[in-house]
Each structure stands twice: as C-alpha cells, then as structure tokens.
Amino acid sequence: DAGVIQSPRHEVTEMGQEVTLRCKPISGHNSLFWYRQTMMRGLELLIYFNNNVPIDDSGMPEDRFSAKMPNASFSTLKIQPSEPRDSAVYFCASSPGTGGKAFFGQGTRLTVV
C-alpha cells in the first residue's frame, strides 16, 4: 500500500492567495483527519470525516479554512485568503474507523509570505 498521499509537499504563496491542499487516504479507510503542526502549538486536529461526512470541525481556526471530502479516496483543505500565520505543516491521516489506528501522510509544508 502506498500509504496516505498528500500533495503538494511544499507550497509557497503570497498573502491573500487561495491555497488548496490535497489528500488521498489509504484505500478502505473510512475516517480521514486533517492536522496542523507548528512549533508553538504542536499537532492540532482541524477537522475529521467519517464515511466522507464531516463529523467535527471545531478545530478549524477561522472561516477562511474549509475542507471537503467528495468521495472516499480524496479530500481537500482550502485556505482563502491565506495569511502568514497560516504557515505550518499540514498533515492528513486516515484510519479504518472505530478501533483502528491512524496513519499519517508526509505532510504539506505551507509558507505564506
């Protein structure tokens, strides 16, 4: 299995631009999570989906952030407009569901200048 696949690996954008991060979960997994990692705040859960349905988005910092999961094999995290304080590494993880273990992708390093 290729594991959780995220793209792009690195993204540099200017403040005010729209940014879209992409994730392909492990086939057969029905839970998907988006995390953000910074030095100050560590790993924070932003949102998670079960069977493509958003269950808890309480970790999404602002309305500028949105996430979708149109099907079982694809999810996006969008930031519009982006700000310098959004600079972080964003991880996607997937799990086979209740009782299952969560597996992380390699992350997308986002830099907003």
* Shortest reach from residue 48's CB to other proteins, in Å: 5
Inter-residue contact 50 to 57 (CB < 8 Å): no
Rule CB under 8 A: choose which of 26, 79, 91, 112 binds other proteins.
91
Inter-residue contact 21 to 13 (CB < 8 Å): no
Q: Does 106 bind other proteins (CB under 8 A)?
A: yes
Inter-residue contact 104 to 93 (CB < 8 Å): yes
Closer to other proteins by CB, 71 or 101: give it.
101
Q: Does 19 bind other proteins (CB under 8 A)?
A: no
Inter-residue contact 45 to 91 (CB < 8 Å): no
Count the alpha carbons within 13 Å of 109 in the hemisphere toward its beta carbon: 3
Q: Does 16 bind other proteins (CB under 8 A)?
A: no
Q: Does 101 bind other proteins (CB under 8 A)?
A: yes
Residues found near other proteins in the complex (CB under 8 A): 4, 31, 33, 42-45, 48, 50, 55-56, 91, 93, 95, 97-107
